[in-house]
């Protein structure tokens, strides 16, 4: 139940959540040309930051600060429109903390530095615990359970972690643990990741989720700020330097019903972003957006229902194995295994398959699109064919290592060479 009374719910009011949302997300190519990574649309109607924010609210954490820096206008607007329902008179808030050069003449130089530069603001809240979160991961997690575990075992620091294939582990902080899940080593993006005992093809990766007692966090950040050779980063400096001299615990993220590794995705590349959106189209997706006990909150734009028009043999508006958001009109075209965000319009005689279409896109007649991501506000000319000739697509668009074609308005500004 939303906001339900967890055994440690009382402690949640003394926990401040800090969401790190200043990353540029360069691996997402043009999707982050004008937006920070946490502001990128996901799942038809959400932004990626809605997932950690919703996890906070559903976990009973109602004091949340979002640290922003890179191209934050659309993120700021989204937070103002969709996350202003908390009650300040009850001590609840979702607030934005932009880079302000509060303590030195530089912008945020790392994740730890971003928090360090806001220690005075954190101190005003007087939290017992500080929960550090990334703003660009897709998952549903009860942080109350992690905080409860942190308190019960007497840890100094707790790190959320998840098992990942060793081939993917090089992109994360990787830790080794003992039989009681106390962290023994921690390396950020190692060339040769440590494996889980008994599982030679799996590593234990950091989720970028950390719990600190507020006083300890302040001490560690002040120490780190004085080091000239530090990157001032939690994964590169704070956590590795704490291992061995403090009690650092690992908290494996698992499904509370099955005990198996729970769903968690870093959508930092075009391929991972596409795959995570496609995951939602399964008959029984691992990430259940229909779970009313753990809703994903967002700004709800006032839009009419989706509409499908025409029912002729060669001109039938239909969508199969797809998610179609409000304001969409599919007019005499076929959509298969695709995700349509708000206000997408598809004109007649087009065939769309394995596609992620972002908001306010218009697709002309007689188009054939396959394995594509169409960025917001694009207008696809009639007769356009994308996703059938990789070599031809690469002349105009970005093609990912897995063959996903990213299309943006800027790319469409080039002379279209693949119009039938």
The closest alpha carbon to 158, from 169, 149, 168, belongs to 149
Pair (339, 231) in one structural domain: no
Helix (H, G, I), strand (E, B) or coil at 74: helix
The rounded distance, in Å, linking the Cα atoms of 340 and 325 is: 6
2 belongs to a structural domain: no
Cβ neighbour number for residue 94 with a 10 Å cutoff: 21
The rounded distance, in Å, linking the Cα atoms of 290 and 288 is: 5
Pair (336, 222) in one structural domain: no
Mean pLDDT value across residues 46-60: 97
**pLDDT at residue 417, as a whole number:** 41
Q: What is the number of domains present in the chain?
A: 2
Instruction: Summarize pLDDT for 115-167 with one digit per residue, the tens.
Output: 999 999 999 999 999 999 999 999 999 999 999 999 999 999 999 999 999 98
DSSP sequence for 176-219:
EE-TT-BEEEEEES-SS---BTTBTTEEEEEEEEEEEEHHHHHH
Instruction: Summarize pLDDT for 292-317 with one digit per residue, the tens.
Output: 999 999 998 999 999 999 999 999 99
> Are 340 and 362 within 8 A, CB to CB?
no
Judge whether residue 229 has pLDDT over 90. Answer: yes
296 belongs to a structural domain: no
The model's confidence at residue 107, banded by pLDDT at 50, 70 and 90, is confident
> Are 40 and 373 within 8 A, CB to CB?
no
Judge whether residue 256 has pLDDT over 80. Answer: no
134's tokens: 């990334």
Judge whether residue 25 has pLDDT over 70. Answer: no
> Are 305 and 323 within 8 A, CB to CB?
no
Instruction: Summarize pLDDT for 262-293 with one digit per residue, the tens.
Output: 999 999 899 999 999 999 999 999 999 999 99
- CA distances in angstroms from 269 to 25, 133, 199, listed in the order given: 8, 19, 26
Residue 240, beta-bridge partner list: none
> Are 289 and 139 within 8 A, CB to CB?
no
The range of the structural domain enclosing residue 322 comes to 307-412
Of the CA atoms within 13 Å of residue 229, those in its CB half-sphere come to 1
Per-residue burial over 196-222, b = 16 or more CB atoms within 10 Å of its CB, e = otherwise: beeeeebbbbbbbbbbbbbeebbebbe
**pLDDT at residue 261, as a whole number:** 84
CATH of the domain at 256: 3.90.550.10
420 belongs to a structural domain: no
- What lies within 8 Å, CB to CB, of 18 at 6+ separation is 64, 65, 66, 67, 115, 118, 122, 130, 131, 132, 133
The rounded distance, in Å, linking the Cα atoms of 352 and 354 is: 7
Helix (H, G, I), strand (E, B) or coil at 356: strand
Pair (43, 81) in one structural domain: yes
Pair (208, 62) in one structural domain: yes
**pLDDT at residue 103, as a whole number:** 67
The rounded distance, in Å, linking the Cα atoms of 19 and 111 is: 10
Per-residue burial over 303-317, b = 16 or more CB atoms within 10 Å of its CB, e = otherwise: eeebebeeeeeeeeb
26 belongs to a structural domain: yes
> Are 238 and 221 within 8 A, CB to CB?
yes
Q: Where a domain ends, among 259, 279, 299?
A: 279
289 belongs to a structural domain: no
Mean pLDDT value across residues 188-192: 92
290 belongs to a structural domain: no
129-134 and 46-47: which strand pairing?
unpaired
Instruction: Summarize pLDDT for 8-21 with one digit per residue, the tens.
Output: 444 454 999 999 99
Pair (197, 151) in one structural domain: yes
Mean pLDDT value across residues 335-352: 98
Helix (H, G, I), strand (E, B) or coil at 69: coil
44's tokens: 């038809």
Mean pLDDT value across residues 168-190: 94
Instruction: Summarize pLDDT for 65-102 with one digit per residue, the tens.
Output: 999 988 889 999 999 999 999 988 888 999 999 887 76
145's tokens: 């359970």
402 belongs to a structural domain: yes
- CA distances in angstroms from 250 to 79, 169, 180, 253, listed in the order given: 31, 16, 9, 9
Helix (H, G, I), strand (E, B) or coil at 165: strand
> Are 66 and 94 within 8 A, CB to CB?
yes
> Are 388 and 375 within 8 A, CB to CB?
no
Mean of per-residue pLDDT scores for the chain = 91
Pair (75, 209) in one structural domain: yes
Largest Cα separation within the chain, whole Å, is 72
**pLDDT at residue 9, as a whole number:** 45
291 belongs to a structural domain: no
CATH of the domain at 366: 2.160.10.10
Measured in degrees and rounded to the nearest 5, phi and psi for residue 396 equal -125, -30
């Amino acid at each position: 139940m939303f906001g339900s009374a967890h055994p440690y719910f009382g402690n949640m009011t003394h926990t401040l959540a800090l969401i790190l949302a200043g990353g540029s997300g360069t691996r997402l190519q043009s999707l982050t040309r004008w937006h920070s990574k946490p502001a990128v649309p996901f799942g038809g109607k959400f932004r990626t930051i809605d997932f950690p924010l919703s996890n906070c609210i559903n976990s009973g954490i109602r004091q949340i600060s979002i640290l922003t820096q890179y191209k934050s206008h659309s993120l700021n607007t989204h937070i103002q429109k969709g996350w202003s329902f908390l009650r300040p008179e009850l001590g609840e808030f979702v607030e934005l903390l932009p880079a302000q050069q509060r303590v030195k003449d530089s912008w945020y130089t790392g994740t730890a530095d971003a928090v360090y530069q806001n220690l005075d603001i954190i101190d005003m809240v007087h939290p017992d615990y500080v929960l550090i979160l990334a703003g660009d991961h897709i998952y549903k997690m009860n942080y109350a359970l992690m905080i409860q575990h942190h308190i019960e075992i007497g840890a100094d620091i707790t790190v959320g972690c998840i098992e990942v294939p060793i081939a993917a582990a090089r992109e994360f902080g990787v830790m080794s643990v003992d039989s009681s899940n106390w962290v023994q080593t921690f390396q950020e993006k190692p060339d040769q990741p440590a494996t889980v005992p008994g599982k030679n093809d799996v590593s234990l990766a950091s989720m970028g989720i950390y719990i600190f007692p507020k006083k300890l966090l302040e001490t560690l950040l002040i120490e780190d700020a004085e080091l000239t050779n530090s990157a001032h980063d939690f994964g590169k400096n704070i956590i590795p330097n704490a291992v061995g001299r403090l009690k650092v615990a690992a908290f494996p993220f698992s499904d509370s019903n099955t005990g198996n590794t729970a769903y968690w995705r870093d959508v930092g590349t075009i391929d991972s972003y596409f795959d995570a959106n496609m995951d939602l189209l399964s008959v029984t997706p691992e990430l259940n957006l229909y779970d009313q006990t753990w809703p994903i909150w967002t700004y709800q734009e006032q839009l009419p229902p989706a509409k499908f028009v025409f029912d002729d043999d060669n001109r039938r508006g239909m969508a199969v194995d797809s998610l179609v958001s409000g304001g969409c009109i599919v007019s005499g075209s076929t959509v298969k295994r695709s995700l349509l965000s708000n206000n997408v319009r598809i004109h007649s005689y087009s065939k769309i398959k394995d596609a992620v279409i972002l908001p306010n896109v218009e697709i002309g007649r007689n188009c054939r699109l396959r394995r594509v991501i169409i960025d917001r506000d694009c207008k696809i000319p009639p007769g356009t064919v994308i996703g059938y000739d990789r070599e031809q697509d690469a002349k105009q668009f970005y093609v990912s290592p897995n063959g996903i074609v990213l299309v943006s308005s800027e790319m469409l500004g080039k002379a279209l060479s693949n119009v039938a």
